[in-house]
Structure 1
Amino acid sequence: MKFRFQYIYTAFILSFVILTVLAVMFYQRLMNAQRYSNEVEHTYEKLYILERVDGTLKDIIGSERGFILTRDSSMLEPLITRGSHIHTLIDSLRSLTLDNNKQQININNLKRIVSERLSQIRTNVNKAALKQRSNLDLRMLQSKVLMNDYNDVLRKIESEERSLLLFRNIQKDSSQQLTPKLLYAIFVFATIIFILSFLFINKEMRKRLTFQQALQKQVGELNRANAELEQLTHTHSHHLQEPLRKIQTFTTRLLTKHSSTLTDEMRVMLDKINTTAEHMHGLTADMAMYSNLITNKEALQDADLNYVLFKVAEHVDARLTMQHASLSVINSLPIIKGIPAQLVILFEQLIDNSLKFARRDVPPLITVRFEETVGKSISDKLFSVFGGTLYYKISVTDNGMGFSNEFAERIFGIFEKLESPQRESKGIGLAMVQRIMINHGGNVSASGSVGNGAVFYLYFPVHNR
């Protein structure tokens, strides 16, 4: 048995070494192929810029000739719009050839000639505008000499780049021919290793299968327990609403029907009972809504966030007016895959939160903006959720009371409230926001500053891109 394990260990180490060597060789070949491909693309880019330089200069020369013949100022559009752009193109070409001293000299000569030709063009245009035809033949001859020099330099640059292109294409083709052969060798050897490995681990996998079946049974039992718990929560939240409505009805009847016989203390107590019952009624309604969000089975569909926010603005318009608040959208919002009804609740809760925690004597200002981002650029705490996927980032900013960033995660918990006792809050609105974002495959985060407002960031995954 001991000898058998030694044989297995030796075979494994030897196989690992061979695979490693083959993998390193393949990696080197792949990197070489990529480098040669990049060099080819680099050369094509330089040729493309060179073509643009030539085309731009010819357009400018055409505008010069057209203006001299017609004196129509509209003919000068290429000279006005592209005169400075041609230098930018030449500078880009120079930055792409920093590794080639010969090309640097050619490009410097090209820039000098182009500058002189542009200067001539401006002189010719100015004289044509003033109807001065003196020395026209001499100026045309000078232009012709400069263009001959320009064409010579242009041909030198293009010839050098095409020579490099031919050489690099040969290198790329050679590397691409060797890479598949090496990959095939790695594939064959790896296949043999995998087959042998399968034979050794097959017995262990059978044991693991038995364990997995037992684990699946426990997971099934756990899911059933969770479903029962969700049903219990949903049922309780609905059944509690009826007695709360009766409490509100009875206290209201006492306050109205027996108002003359109630003392001030009794009236205050009844008001508190009614207010508390109303608060509990709203809380149970929110709990029922939150329970519905957890058990959500709705399919995602195209949802225009501009329309969603428009509907929300209609719902909260009266409250915005009452608090002298303004709601503005900085840029157009995207169309996402979502559940429209839940998205309405999402923005209603965020706007409600901003209005609820507005600073006294400061009109609330709520702004919504949109941008695209990738998961790896988001906070490390959310990296496991986001990864490298592309996301729509919706920022909802207000100028309210704000909060300390040490509570940025805590505020999304159920019944977590950071406000002062004078502020009415059930502590479930932001928990609903987070639940809705989870239902959409995204997440939410927040940042704030005490006395300077808060920002809530909504991250929706971008589908089909």
Structure 2
Amino acid sequence: MHISIHKKIRVGFFIAFTAIVGASVVSYLIAKNLQHNASRLQHAVEVSKRLELISRHLKDAESAIRGYNITHQQEFLRPSMEERSVKIESEYRKLRRIIDDPPQQKNLDTLKVLLDVKYGQLLAGARDPRIASVKEGELSMDRIDRKMQDMIAIEEAQLTEKSRLFTFFSNLWIPAVFIISLIAILIGIYSYVTLNREFRLQLHIESRMRSYQRELQENINLLNKSNQELEQFAYVASHDLQEPLRKISTFSDRLLLKYREDIPPEAGQLVDRMVSAVGRMRVLINDLLIFSRAGRITPDTIAAVDLNELLRDVLGDLEAPLQEKKGTVSTDKLPAVEGSDTGLHQLFQNILSNSIKFASPDRPLEIRITGETLTGAEARVPSEKRAQEKYLRIRVQDNGIGFDPAYADRIFLIFQRLHGVSEYKGTGIGLAICKKITDAHQGFISAEGEPGKGAAFIITLPLRQLRED
């Protein structure tokens, strides 16, 4: 399955972003672990430092007691044992504050007991040198040293474990971060190259589009000019054609009026058929003129049209043929729409005239006109920009002779007839005019029919003309 360039770029950027986020998270974890190890190292150093200070103060005090025992000089007892014990107690309290590990806290409790014993020995030796026992002092000091070594060993073991874990994960994380970053860089380079290529292609496409737009505008101008010339030609041609038709009609009438009794019956019939053909030709020329001018809308001709008033005018124009068919027309109240009043009048007049023409001979004609307002999406408008625009759907339903649904699209083509001229009069242009007017109003028209039961014409018009189109 083909994957578009834009989707590839989006996927590439998503992977690169994910890789960068992953590398950032891993880097954060490494930095955090490194910081934790540094804090642990600092903690171990601090504990060792405090223990070493306590040990040094104890050994200094013990050396002072021994020097005093040997020389009996008071200088060895300065500072006094009480002052030395205060310093040792201060270091112990600092140690207590920085240690939060339960096993180490138990060791601190034991160390406190040993220090209290050692304090007693030092104070007793300072008061009476004869009481001091070197062996007991060394034994007490050995216990303190062993306890301190145990505490230092625990700190070093914890530090070693943390360092080992850090080394292990660093050996995994650092290559992973490098690989992830490399992947992100490669994807970024690929995306940049692709985007650059797409940008150059877009510039090329825009350049071609501008060229096509210029050509299209030129073709539109030529087409408009050609249409104007064709309309002018149609008008002139139809005007010039009217003159010989009038002469043929005039001479035919005079011929029949003056020589009706002198010409053979068969010749009279031929003249009658010629007059009838001339009449149809005149109607066809007039309809062609109407078709060429239908749907011609300019911004100046667009205004709000009250469809209720417009339908009253149309029904007034069609009052005579409606009475002839014993027809009745019922209408819903319809909203106003923007458009050409003349064009919409012609649209509904042609639709209603069509219903009157094809009324069923077996029953009185009934025409029902209904309307509903809906959105462009509900009306199935092909343009997405008009999906939220308001539209009016008008349904003109009759109970006439109907038609085969297979011809629903054909009846809107010019000169297309479903019945012969002998059955129903007309040129086959009326519904083509309706479609042209509806298209000019940015709307749609369709038909539904069932033979013998009637027909319906569905007209969909926007409530507001989109002038930007």
TM bucket (normalised to shorter chain) is 0.5 to 0.7
- SS for the counterpart of 1:448 is strand
| Letter of the structure 2 residue corresponding to residue 453 of structure 1 | G
Structure-2 separation of matches of 1:436 and 1:216: 24
Q: Distance in 2 between matches of 1:11 and 1:345?
A: 50
Identify the residue that residue 246 of structure 1 maps to in structure 2.
Answer: 247
In the TM superposition, 1:226-237 aligns within 5 A as 226-237=227-238
How far does residue 293 in structure 1 lie from its aligned partner after superposition? 1.5
Residue-by-residue CA offset, 1:314-356 (whole Å, 9 max, x unaligned):
1111111122222221x21221112111112111111111111
TM-aligned CA distance change 1:459 to 1:195, over 3 Å: same
Q: After TM superposition, give the deviation of residue 230 of structure 1 in Å.
A: 3.5
1:258 and 2:251 equivalent?
no
Seen in structure 2, the aligned counterparts of structure 1 residues 411 and 191 have a Cα distance that, compared at 3 Å, is farther
- 2:366 paired residue number: 365
Question: Is the contact between residue 234 and residue 287 of structure 1 (CA under 8 Å) also seen in structure 2?
Answer: no
Contact 2:305 2:339 in 1 (8 A): yes
Classify 1:268/1:462 alpha carbon distance in 2 versus 1 (closer, same or farther; 3 Å): same
Name the SS of the counterpart of 1:261 in structure 2: coil
Equivalent residue, structure 1, for 2:280: 279
Tell me, in whole angstroms, the C-alpha distance in 1 between the residues paired with 2:364 and 2:217. Answer: 56
CA–CA distance in 2 between the matches of 1:350 and 1:10?
51
Distance 1:204 1:377, change over 3 A: closer
Which residue is equivalent to 1:164?
Answer: none
The residue number in structure 2 matching 1:402 is 402
1:418 is matched with 418
Number of corresponding residues: 288
Contact 1:326 1:364 in 2 (8 A): yes
Query: Helix, strand or coil: the match of 1:393?
Result: strand
Provide the rounded CA distance (Å) in 2 between the counterparts of 1:349 and 1:19: 60
Return the TM-score normalized by structure 2: 0.54
Q: Percent identity?
A: 31
Asked whether the 8 Å contact 2:339–2:465 carries over to 1, the reply is no
1:308 is the counterpart of 2:310: yes
Is the contact made by 1:400 and 1:452 (CA closer than 8 Å) also made in structure 2? yes
d(CA) in 1 for partners of 2:416, 2:372: 30
- Post-superposition shift, 1:211? 5.6
Q: Aligned with 2:417: secondary structure? A: coil
Query: Partner of 1:17 in structure 2?
Result: 12
Structure 1: which amino acid aligns with 2:311? L
3-state DSSP of counterpart to 1:394 = strand
SS at match of 1:455: strand
Contact 2:314 2:345 in 1 (8 A): yes
Q: Which runs of 5+ in 1 are unaligned?
A: 1-8, 24-189
Long gaps (5+) in structure 2: 19-190
Of 321, 324, 327, the residue aligned with 1:319 is 321
1:372 touches 1:393 (CA, 8 Å); kept in 2?
yes
Measured in 2, the distance between the counterparts of 1:194 and 1:350 equals 56
Query: Using the alignment, how far apart are the partners of 1:285 and 1:351 within structure 2?
Result: 19
Instruction: Provide closer, same or farther for how the CA distance between residues 288 and 22 of structure 1 changes in structure 2, counting only shifts above 3 A.
Output: farther
Amino acid at match of 2:313: K
How far apart are the structure 2 equivalents of 1:210 and 1:296? 29
What CA distance in whole angstroms lies between the structure 1 residues aligned with 2:349 and 2:343? 10
Q: Which amino acid aligns with 2:250?
A: T
Deviations 1:282-307 (A, max 9, x none): 11111111111154435210111111
Measure the CA separation in 2 of the matches of 1:386 and 1:196.
Answer: 30
Deviation at 1:358, TM superposition (A): 1.4
- Give, as a single letter, the amino acid of the residue that structure 2 aligns with 1:410: R
Shift of 1:395: 0.9
- CA offset at residue 21 of structure 1? 8.8
Tell whether the 8 Å contact from 2:411 to 2:431 is kept in structure 1 after alignment: yes
Question: Would the alpha carbon gap of residues 194 and 340 (structure 1) be closer, same or farther in structure 2, given more than 3 Å must change?
Answer: farther
**Residue aligning to 1:98:** none
Q: Equivalent residues in 2 for 1:143-292 (5 A)?
A: 198=199, 201-202=202-203, 205-206=206-207, 209-210=210-211, 213-214=214-215, 216-292=217-293
> In the alignment, is residue 393 of structure 1 matched against residue 393 of structure 2?
yes
Instruction: Report matched runs for 1:113-124 at 5 Å.
Output: none
Residue 206 of structure 1 deviates from its aligned partner by 4.2
Structure possessing the higher relative contact order (Cα contacts under 8 Å, 6 or more residues apart): 2
Mapped partners of 2:278, 2:357: distance in 1: 20
1:166-212: CA deviation from partner (whole Å, max 9, x where unpaired) = xxxxxxxxxxxxxxxxxxxxxxxx99998895466445644664565
Alignment partners' CA distance in 2, 1:357 and 1:282 = 19
Please say if residues 15 and 193 of structure 1, whose CA atoms lie closer than 8 Å, have aligned partners that are also in contact. no
Distance in 1 (alpha carbons) for counterparts of 2:6 and 2:325: 77
Which residue identity lines up with residue 307 of structure 2 in the other structure?
A: L
Q: Does 1:341 align with 2:336?
A: no
Whole-angstrom distance in 2 between the partners of 1:20 and 1:290: 61
* Corresponding letter in the other structure for 1:434: K
Q: Counterparts of 1:65-76 in structure 2 under 5 Å?
A: none
Local SS of the residue matching 2:301: coil
Q: Secondary structure at the match of 1:254?
A: helix
CA–CA distance in 1 between the matches of 2:328 and 2:292?
32
Alpha-carbon displacement from aligned partner over 1:91-139 (angstroms, at most 9, x marks no partner): xxxxxxxxxxxxxxxxxxxxxxxxxxxxxxxxxxxxxxxxxxxxxxxxx
What is the root-mean-square deviation of aligned Cα atoms in Å? 3.6
Aligned pair in 2 of structure 1 residues 440, 191: CA closer, same or farther (>3 Å)? farther
Kept in 2: contact 1:386–1:442 (CA 8 A): no
